[in-house]
Amino acid sequence: MIDRKKMTTLLINVISVKMLLTFPKIMIINSGNAAWIECIYNTLIVIGLFWITTKLYRSNKNIIQLAEMTGKKWLKIIVGVVAFVVLLINYSSIIRIFPETVKMVLLQDFKIEFIIPIFMLAIGIGAYIGLEPIARVNNMFMPLAGIVLLLSLILLIPYFNINNIFPILGNGVYSITVKGINTISLFSDILLLNILLPYCENTSEAKKSGWRAIYISATIGVVILLSYCLIYPYPVSREFMIPVYQLSRVIHLGNFFSRFEVIFQFVWSILVLIYSSIYVYALCYVWQITFDLKYYKPLILPVVIISGIVAVLPSSVVDLVKSERLENIIVYPVAFLLPILFGFYSKKIYNKRTVNEESGESE
């Protein structure tokens, strides 16, 4: 079992880690320097969807287990395979971007072909030790990451220029509300809460973890984007590949320590490795429960190999997989709507059970 605090920090990691890579750039391309407003807008949508889910969900079983409870084996397999594909699509952007950014920032003289196998080996070892040890390590490391983020934001304040966020609506209302709706994918990792629901103490604790993770992750996202937009005017702000790394390069702590990005690189690398280990474990776990396998560890090697293949696929193939149309058809309905659908089913089972118990007592 994973307690509420560990589950909360685990979810904060999987949601927020995208903000450390190229995700802020995507939002800035959409909305200009109003990207922070776009983040707030999408947060409100996710809050509404998660509120509906929490009102309906009455079971500590995930969507795959609830699919099995309908009595149809084929439905369980379909839901499990779809969940696996959605998690892999979510994960694909990280496993492609991270090795490339490590090469660009840290190991310019290393070939990407050497970095990827080392990365795959590290996350395979992480997944092998199990979810609970990963959650403990993550829970210990997240406060340090939070302190580094807070310190960096404080040190950035002297570089803020309020004029850089004007016009306040950036590229316009349409860009924020219509074009920007796809960056709701920042929160699509909340699906992991449903997948890992059997590891939570109960549904009440899981819901509290979900709420806290959404609020804290949204705050992190808004603060990062606002800080970046206050320092870099548009369209200069859309030029940098990794905005958070660019922010870390702005900070100078005198002649003794003028490269604050070194700390950022350390924190960023550890968080991504933990994130990847969580995802590899979750992918194995989905396959395990979908096909009623006794152990998940034999699945780690195939999943890591699949991850490595995704990491070296041509950009054109990955762009097709991550296309807007495919995300609209598969990722968003599964991540946000499928838990609502099965939540409705779990509430129906709960109400039926309550009626039967009351009938039994009256007899």
Judge whether residue 363 has pLDDT over 60. Answer: no
- The pair of structure tokens assigned to 150 is 């807070």
Name 155's Cβ contacts closer than 8 Å, sequence gap at least 6: 251, 253, 260
Which percentage of the chain shows pLDDT scores above 70? 85
pLDDT computed for residue 218 by the predictor: 92
Q: What is the mean pLDDT of residues 22-35?
A: 86
* Pair 87, 223: CB distance under 8 Å: no
The DSSP symbol for 253 reads B
Given this model, what pLDDT does residue 333 score? Answer: 76
Summary mean pLDDT of the chain: 82
What is the reported pLDDT for 116? 78
pLDDT at 45: 92
Q: Which residue has the higher pLDDT, 26 or 22?
A: 26
- pLDDT score recorded for residue 60: 80
Query: Residues 6 or more apart from 303 whose CB is under 8 A from it?
Result: 127, 280, 283, 284, 287
